[in-house]
Structure 1
Amino acid sequence: AGQGREFEALKDYQPGMGRRMIDWKRSARHGRLLAREFRIEENNNIVLAIDSGRLMCEPVDGVPKVDRAVAAALLSAFIALKGGDMVSLFSFDGRPRVASGAVRGSASFAMIQKRAAEIDYSNEETNFTLALTTLAARLDRRALVIIFTDFVDPISAELMLRTVGRLTERHLVLFMMTRDVEVESLTDMPPLSGEDVARAVVAGGLLRERQVVIGRLRLLGAHVIEADHQRLGPALVERYLQFKREDLL
């Protein structure tokens, strides 16, 4: 509390408050220590960008990744709208598909739900260059861009990396990805046969390549969350609230 950007009020300084919160001029005028109290800024622009391409339509624990992404996006949209921020929805595969305008207020959540229901499965390869360039052109102010996606190796993610570098120059970018528990389980299986060893080696290589891409995203200034499929929504909400507390939006 009291660590946002919008000035709200003056109050008596209490032990434990940071010295930077003290308003020295007004304290001298009133003859007692007064501290500035701030509130977390509202009206931030939150963009939920959901990849509905081929890789995102693969199931995790019986449910397609895109469905889990939509559920996490709706949870974060509800929290953001309740908190006074603006939310917009964007989906893409080989080309942009769904694009809602920015809305504000809890009453607008029904519209976000309706547009999210329009996101469909696709067997097309994701065109990150077209999608993210189109999205960047729609944004006329700084935004938190949350991208729900997946990738297999550095080669398939190369075009995405090129576009992300331009997006992070102006916006706060967060990638949300589901952990590939199936591949991780292959690396942990007891090597009972030569085939088990071969599968474990291939799976380990895929995981290492995935971490290479994640590392490059972070070097470009993007934030990355790789969460268990059951924790995707809560992990996103926690990071969103952390961004607000740290004044990054």
Structure 2
Amino acid sequence: MIYPTARAVFLAAAGGPAALVLGVAFPAYWYVGVGWTLFVFALTVIDAVSGAWPREPVAELGIDNSASIGADVPAQVRVAFPRSAPRTVEVIVELSDLLEAPEGARATIAITEARGQATIHLLAARRGSARLPALWLRWTGPMGLVWKQRRDPCNARVIVTPDVRPVRERGAHLFLRSAMHGLIAQLDRGDGAEFESLADFQAGMDRRAIDWKQSARHSKLLAKEYRTERNNNVVFALDAGRTMCEPLDGVPRMDRAVSAALLAAYVALKLGDRVSLFGFDAKPRIASGAVSGARSFGLIQRLAAELDYSTEETNYTLALTTLGGRLNRRSLIVVFTEFSDPTSAELMLRAATRLLDRHLVLFVVLDDEELGDITAAEPETADDVSRAVTAAELLRERRIVTTRLRHAGFHVLETPHNRVGLKLVAYYIDLKRRNLL
């Protein structure tokens, strides 16, 4: 595509006032104005046919094929001209909705020896498969009177995966710190604990652990030692409904939940438990079977990346009933959700209560710091008072729901979004140490 620049338009338009003045002062020379316009048009045509044609340059877009959410994604744009290269070239990258350009998706490339390159920094804002449909190139002719523009379809794809940096940075440390909970013999027998061995009874041991038959046989007090049970089922149920797509500090709630679930799944797999993933909104979206072993973490990560955002309302009854029907043994069910209103919370409570007969259910709720800030801020206008009252009412409704959950027998973890992964792992380890799984 070739079209005139602002310079050409300005030069052509400048001939109008000059022709008007010349026509009034010297009527016989009125045609000079028309001649000026034709002269500018001729220069524009010459500029259009000079230099490189739009089809001549070779453009390449280099970008990583995967990135974690919130990470910087540099896009390298390289341009080469076979002949008559301009001094600069403007490039624009067409972006997917999953990618953002904090500094803009445009760059100006300085051409040296018929070649040039530039880097456009993109930000992976949301999970999914982000496509970059095309790359736009634009440069001016030698006289700067025309733009020469081209659109190159490139169809580059960047898979935006869940943020696994906490797993890499903290997973190994958390595992080493907590692994001993599964190896050290437990002194008190809890529900679901496995018998380990007999040992001499010592002060501080639970008297209920004494094996009286074996003590009589050996003429000394012997106590049973137990170890934490392994091979437990841990299910991470992720709500992908409308309320979980709201941002917290610039990142959707669901992405923060996915990162925390992956961190806890990594530790659980390392400790010998079986992990499965379940995603739902208006209906179940993904459901993996139970997997074990650290090598299975890649499968859990890929399934979590496929859980897309949704604008539909969450159907807790269908989702939790379906999940309960899939489980054939006692499991720890970790539900990541957000209580949007008392009605949906009531439906969720009724559906989840059916799971308590066989399973241990833990609800993970992210604190909404924005509501707390609005409530604590000193009001200056009537609108501030209205917002503060609304925020306080939302917080009150959330406290009512969490209190009802605890009274019904559920475990509830309320935590800031920046510590949800660590808090969840600590809570899971505590449940495992107490033999509640």
- Greater C-alpha Rg: 2
Displacement over 6 Å in runs of 4+:
none
Q: Does 1:141 align with 2:329?
A: yes
Q: Does 1:172 align with 2:172?
A: no
The equivalent of 2:425 in structure 1 is: 237
TM-aligned CA deviation for residue 13 of structure 1: 2.2
User: How far apart, in 1, do the equivalents of 2:228 and 2:431 lie?
Assistant: 11
The equivalent of 2:222 in structure 1 is: 34
TM-aligned CA deviation for residue 24 of structure 1: 2.4
User: How far apart, in 1, do the equivalents of 2:253 and 2:318 lie?
Assistant: 21
User: How far apart, in 2, do the equivalents of 1:170 and 1:30 lie?
Assistant: 40
TM-aligned CA deviation for residue 158 of structure 1: 2.3
Q: Secondary structure at the match of 2:328?
A: coil
User: How far apart, in 1, do the equivalents of 2:215 and 2:259 lie?
Assistant: 49
Among 154, 163, 171, the alignment partner of 2:351 is 163
Q: Secondary structure at the match of 1:102?
A: coil
Q: Secondary structure at the match of 1:160?
A: helix
Please state which structure has a larger fraction of its residues in strand.
2
Q: Secondary structure at the match of 1:216?
A: helix
Q: Does 1:212 align with 2:381?
A: no
Letter in 2 for 1:52: A
User: How far apart, in 1, do the equivalents of 2:436 and 2:294 lie?
Assistant: 23
Among 40, 47, 60, the alignment partner of 2:248 is 60
The equivalent of 1:70 in structure 2 is: 258
TM-aligned CA deviation for residue 10 of structure 1: 1.2
User: How far apart, in 2, do the equivalents of 1:187 and 1:151 lie?
Assistant: 18
The equivalent of 2:341 in structure 1 is: 153
Letter in 1 for 2:259: A
Superimposed CA distance per residue, residues 148-184 of structure 1 (whole angstroms, 9 cap, x where no aligned partner): 0002221232221221111222211111010011111
User: How far apart, in 2, do the equivalents of 1:155 and 1:130 lie?
Assistant: 16
Superimposed CA distance per residue, residues 87-125 of structure 1 (whole angstroms, 9 cap, x where no aligned partner): 100001111111100011111111111111111111111
The equivalent of 1:89 in structure 2 is: 277
User: How far apart, in 2, do the equivalents of 1:205 and 1:217 lie?
Assistant: 19
User: How far apart, in 1, do the equivalents of 2:345 and 2:205 lie?
Assistant: 46
Please tell me whether the aligned partners of residues 164 and 220 of structure 1 are also in contact (alpha carbons under 8 angstroms). Answer: no
Please tell me whether the aligned partners of residues 54 and 123 of structure 1 are also in contact (alpha carbons under 8 angstroms). Answer: yes
User: How far apart, in 1, do the equivalents of 2:273 and 2:203 lie?
Assistant: 33
User: How far apart, in 2, do the equivalents of 1:142 and 1:82 lie?
Assistant: 20
Among 279, 293, 304, the alignment partner of 1:105 is 293
User: How far apart, in 1, do the equivalents of 2:400 and 2:223 lie?
Assistant: 46
TM-aligned CA deviation for residue 219 of structure 1: 2.7
Letter in 1 for 2:295: A
Q: Does 1:202 align with 2:385?
A: no
Question: Runs of 5+ in structure 1 lacking a partner?
Answer: none
TM-aligned CA deviation for residue 14 of structure 1: 2.4
User: How far apart, in 1, do the equivalents of 2:358 and 2:199 lie?
Assistant: 35
Please tell me whether the aligned partners of residues 153 and 213 of structure 1 are also in contact (alpha carbons under 8 angstroms). Answer: no
User: How far apart, in 1, do the equivalents of 2:405 and 2:218 lie?
Assistant: 51
Letter in 1 for 2:373: S
| Higher RCO, Cα 8 Å, sep 6+ | 1
Letter in 2 for 1:36: K
The more displaced of 118-127 and 10-19 is 10-19
User: How far apart, in 2, do the equivalents of 1:115 and 1:70 lie?
Assistant: 10
User: How far apart, in 2, do the equivalents of 1:37 and 1:169 lie?
Assistant: 28
Taking structure 2 as the reference length, what is the TM-score of the superposition?
Answer: 0.55
**Number of aligned positions between the proteins:** 249
Taking structure 1 as the reference length, what is the TM-score of the superposition?
Answer: 0.95
User: How far apart, in 2, do the equivalents of 1:237 and 1:191 lie?
Assistant: 39
Q: Secondary structure at the match of 1:177?
A: strand
Letter in 2 for 1:193: T
Superimposed CA distance per residue, residues 43-95 of structure 1 (whole angstroms, 9 cap, x where no aligned partner): 11111000011110111011111011011111111111111111100001111
TM-aligned CA deviation for residue 224 of structure 1: 0.9
TM-aligned CA deviation for residue 217 of structure 1: 1.7
Letter in 2 for 1:34: L
Please tell me whether the aligned partners of residues 149 and 177 of structure 1 are also in contact (alpha carbons under 8 angstroms). Answer: yes
Q: Secondary structure at the match of 2:400?
A: helix
TM-aligned CA deviation for residue 20 of structure 1: 1.9
TM-aligned CA deviation for residue 9 of structure 1: 0.9
User: How far apart, in 2, do the equivalents of 1:117 and 1:145 lie?
Assistant: 20
Letter in 2 for 1:200: A
